[in-house]
Amino acid sequence: MNSTIPYSARKEDLISPHKGAGFFPAGVPKTDGALCAEMARLAYCRGSSGFAFDQDRITNVLSRVEFTKCQFFESVGHFHGGGTHCFLAVREDGDKTLAVLSFRGTDADDPTDIATDADTILTPWETGGTVHEGFAKALNEVRPNLDQALKSIDFRILFTGHSLGAALATLQASVRKPHSLYTFGSPRVGDSQFINILNGLPGRRYVDCCDIVTRVPPETLGFVHVGDPYYIKLDRNIEFKPQPSLIKEDQDRAREEYVIKYAWKIGNVPVRELADHAPINYVTAVTANDP
């Protein structure tokens, strides 16, 4: 493993991404990919009780990277605010003004999210094809207000998210195309007809080594990924669309190393397939590799 690029096996970094390392430690990211990776992790910030956004903390973090406006969109679920959560942040800079729409991923404590992930029936989608029913229902919970807000954006906008958030960002991109879509640890969202809608959309789909979420729902149920992967290797370097044989060899080595170095330590995730899903591992790898 590349010792210069941090890697975390800590359970807290997987289950409570907002409690770990500070956000944007080096200031304004140099690339859209690095910016979106941290924005996707920032979407996990919630208060000490319930699941609603910690708006003050998010606003303060955003201000440090020059995003001075932010709108929050949250559905009210049955579990103390559980449901769908995303924010729309704007950095004003003349003709370089930028907006980022970031969706929260699966919260391990939120039964609403768990039910959403489990609802894998393919259902017809408004722009074509069929998609994961749970993801569609989750996005539609915030669509009315979100769609209205997006109508006012006439400058460059990026969509992003991690895990469930990546799926929701992908669905939203099929309805209102952004300038780029950046996803991290995304599950498969829809069938091949749905995926065709997004052909040609700029962006990147990052896959961290053994991340199990990127392998569900299975292709045997009709699900297909959007675009080819930017694969984060065991050494934490990134390769675009590597050969399947290279991925298998790299994953086998990663699993072996994990058992020796990490699995047995108290406070760590027991298996590599879950540890690689932690948002911070996407942030550190993408930040180090993006030119």
pLDDT, one tens digit per residue, over 34-70 is: 999 999 999 999 877 778 999 999 999 999 999 999 9
Q: What percent of the chain has pLDDT over 90?
A: 84
Domain ranges within the chain, ordered by starting residue: 11-286
Q: Which of 134, 144, 136 is nearest to 111 (CA)?
A: 134
CA 254 to CA 196: how far, in whole Å? Answer: 33
Side-chain-facing half-sphere of 278: CA atoms under 13 Å: 27
Q: Residue 117 — pLDDT band, cuts 50, 70, 90? A: low
pLDDT at 128 over 50: yes
Q: What is the mean pLDDT of residues 84-92?
A: 97
Work out the average pLDDT over 265-288: 96
Average pLDDT in the 184-199 region? Answer: 96
pLDDT at 113 over 90: no
Residues near 171 by beta carbon (within 8 Å), at least 6 away in sequence: 125, 131, 135, 136, 139, 189, 190
pLDDT exceeds cutoff 90 at 182: yes
Are the CB atoms for 247 and 235 separated by under 8 Å?
no
pLDDT value at position 213?
A: 95
Residue 127 pLDDT greater than 90, yes or no: yes
pLDDT of residue 81: 44
* Residue 112: predicted pLDDT: 47
Q: 125 is written with which tokens?
A: 């989608």
Instruction: Give pLDDT tens digits for 241-258.
Output: 999 999 999 999 999 999
Please report, rounded to a whole number, the percentage of residues in the chain having pLDDT higher than 70: 91
* Average pLDDT, integer, range 68-79: 80
* Superfamily, domain 11-286: Alpha/Beta hydrolase fold, catalytic domain (3.40.50.1820)
pTM for the structure as a whole: 0.94
Q: Return the pLDDT at 108.
A: 62
pLDDT digits (tens, 9 = 90+) for 197-209: 999 999 999 999 9
Report d(CA 189, CA 217) in Å as an integer.
Answer: 8
